[in-house]
Chain A
């Protein structure tokens, strides 16, 4: 818990000195140091039960001053407010409480207002005196002072309508579907793992699968072993099968499929090569492996393939280069 103690210390410093240190010290803080202070200050606010939004707003205003200590308080407040707004709108959009159309509209609203206000220091100062509904139209000129949070407005501060068309609805549906379906990996042991080494495809072909007492198609790739104990590694292998058997005219000219293997499925104990098997026979397989097995069997004479590695912290290596080859003439045993 030493880091926590350190952070607490930073917080105390932040409370004592405040984020304006960058402006007042004879030896100005670097941006990094200034931001550290700003973060601590925001964390302090949060732990003292300020709302997440209030803490973020303070953080962004302080950060603006860190990036440009010469900013007037009005300009820093404006830029910080817009950056905090953008974060809030982004979060609402991602979790689904703000529609895509509304997100796009409010992004544009903030872009337009920021550009106008940045050119008008007097308006910045006026805004600083009060903008109770947070629409970037100062209270003293806001003709609709109670606009709903995050609603785009016109110059008078009154809500603009958000136009929707069928494309917006379609995009929204598609986006939510993807976000719902997508998953990411998590394994605490991978938290501080080093950058993943790059693997490489070596050869593929028929062979024994000793570990599982089966026969099938084996894929040999360069093994990646630079991850800490307990941090599981996965190999994603992408095939583009080409040169279909002319005796099987039903085959499409190319077939793309990606299959993934856990390191625990490695058929070998070789320090440099990992071999993964796709058994033939009636054994049920995952959809992607079934597609690959079908392609191997029915059959394509050659394939371009590549590999990359993913760990349990959701970090990936770059893809290897594609190599194009047919099955290894001597087979590939595992």
Chain B
């Protein structure tokens, strides 16, 4: 086997896996943002109750309170929120994958799955967050060959002092909530697509001269050229191609009507904060991704051109009967013409044919504030069940997405993935985990911002005379902040980086791995975390 495998490995650096950049790739950032937000609440609660923490952290919180006495209430409210969050059912699945590292092997036995020490007669999903004794990472429960327990987990920087202990002793409420905040990126049922023609989906080398068991690298252009119909395959001198009948023979082996992929999940994770033109009319107060309007100035970049071409070539449409997003993320909470619990008008509901007739690049998708609202309402409807925590992940996820510039202009290109990869790589440095000084400065900054968002929610509650959470307003306001900040620094949007990412991920990501970019990444990241703090606090106050 593997004739030429080494050769392929050597050339893999210029491998095009798929130029579809619609997929979010920052699930672990979502988890860490939510965990950080929980720890800020925990620190606030401890401070309010005189609990233990590092002297430097306490001193910073003391000074904050002196400079803004209203924070006393904020800290007290956090103390009320924490036990409610810890009482949520974890909702975690039981993943039997074995642990193979020495550290985990010493705890459970090498090759054994994690021991959750569950009370007799209960399962992991049913236990409260406070009884989850191990930190799961984002891939836990998704079929990894080894257990996805994050044995290196420690709370970020100074926040470790409010959640001390060994691996099996800490409070993992934040980690588990973060796990659910990452989960929307794995909802492959959200956008089930179909192809009118299968040619671009099935590998075109149907009757090829390539030997079985051998991997070769072939030109991507060839794949695309062959895509539509065999005559175009003259562009592939090294590869033979079957006649139409044989092509169809192969095509019957895949289900062209149920295409699911994590590559498509992120299609509904945008909110376009640009002024909305009248044509085509939007279906919600804030539109979502519509490729023809992608980008900071409404002009799609080359990556969007490529994505459009691929989807059009494949005749890729939404499968309305199977895709969950059109149903879930069109929000119709009230009767016709009524307002939802957040006082937004209902979405304009589209018929199945309105969803299905255009190919995906020419379709207005659903906005991420609606995704948030769906999760919030679903959590309320499932209060006390094992689904509640999972659904709370939806608004948390939306707040994270709203803090990424490309999500606020409907852009899959313009440096989207390199930006997110860069934040993922540099996350610890961005929140100052490595030094006590930087860490307490970050905590202070987040609390000040969270207080602002707390006030935003309280003002809204007063003006609407309700105890609900203005989920869509919160997501939109964070997105607005992100948009303003990224507008002020246009180099955030680097269209060339997305194209470069296709052939050289490292160079493209390095384009965002700079001090100037780190400054804005940190600003937006902290804003998103702060909004999550305010959301978590507010959601525990919603009456059953």
Contact = CB atoms under 8 A, between A and B. Distances in A.
A149 interface: no
A312 B244 contact: no
Given A230-B212, A232-B1, A272 B312 contact: no
Contacts of A83: 196, 312, 315, 358-359
B186 to A, nearest CB: 8
Contact of B144 (A47, A56, A197, A310): A197
B411 interface: no
Nearest to A181: B503
Contacts of B257: 31-32, 35
B248 A7 contact: yes
Contacts of A314: 17-18
Nearest to B234: A95
A234 B252 contact: no
Contacts of B235: 95
Contact of A222 (B146, B321, B359): B146
B218 interface: yes
B277 to A, nearest CB: 12
B126 interface: no
A33 to B, nearest CB: 10
B87 interface: no
Contact of B145 (A68, A103, A192, A223): A223
B309 A240 contact: no
Contact of A67 (B197, B353, B424): B353
Interface stretch (A124-132, A156-164, A322-330): A322-330
A3 B252 CA distance: 7
Interface in A230-261: 230-232, 234, 236, 238, 240, 242, 254, 256-261
Contacts of B462: none
Given A6-B252, A238-B505, A94 B143 contact: no
A86 B307 CA distance: 13
B92 interface: no
Contact of B249 (A1, A184, A189, A234): A1
B25 interface: yes
Contact of A322 (B5, B28, B218): B28
Contacts of B315: 59-60, 63, 83, 87
A9 to B, nearest CB: 11
Nearest to A176: B221
A316 B513 contact: no
Nearest to B500: A178
B520 interface: no
Nearest to A175: B302
Nearest to B145: A197
Indicate the member of A181, A198, A231 with the most B CB atoms within 10 Å. Answer: A198
Interface in A58-78: 59-60, 63-64, 67-68, 70-71
B100 interface: yes
A269 interface: no
B377 interface: no
B245 A185 contact: no
Interface in A84-103: 86-91, 93-95, 100, 103
Contacts, number: 314
A228 to B, nearest CB: 10
A47 B353 CA distance: 30
B425 interface: yes
Nearest to B217: A183
A52 interface: yes
B225 A94 contact: yes
Contact of B429 (A115, A179, A226, A242): A242
A4 B242 CA distance: 13
B249 A95 contact: no
A104 B196 contact: no
Interface stretch (B7-15, B158-166, B451-459): B7-15
Contact of B217 (A104, A184, A188, A264): A184
Contacts of B196: 35, 38-39, 59-60, 63, 83
B228 A91 contact: yes
A100 B305 CA distance: 8
Interface string A301-332: 00010000010111010111111110000000
A264 B213 CA distance: 13
Interface string A94-137: 11000010011001100100010000000000000000000000
Interface string B56-95: 0000000000000000000000000000000000000000
Contacts of B477: none
A26 interface: no
B228 A100 contact: no
20 contacts: A4-B245, A35-B257, A38-B196, A39-B198, A46-B229, A90-B310, A90-B313, A93-B309, A95-B232, A104-B305, A115-B280, A175-B302, A182-B220, A183-B15, A186-B208, A187-B213, A197-B145, A256-B509, A256-B513, A321-B150
Q: Which 10 A-B pairs have the closest CB atoms?
A: A68-B353, A230-B213, A260-B12, A182-B16, A52-B229, A90-B309, A262-B5, A187-B215, A312-B215, A67-B356
Given A90-B312, A197-B144, A198-B139, 14 more contacts: A1-B249, A31-B321, A87-B312, A91-B309, A103-B309, A111-B292, A174-B496, A182-B15, A185-B216, A198-B145, A200-B146, A222-B146, A304-B426, A304-B428
Interface of A: 1, 3-4, 6-7, 30-32, 35, 38-39, 42-43, 46-47, 52, 55-56, 59-60, 63-64, 67-68, 70-71, 79, 83, 86-91, 93-95, 100, 103-104, 107-108, 111, 115, 171, 174-175, 178-192, 195, 197-200, 202, 222-226, 229-232, 234, 236, 238, 240, 242, 254, 256-265, 272-273, 286-288, 304, 310, 312-314, 316, 318-325
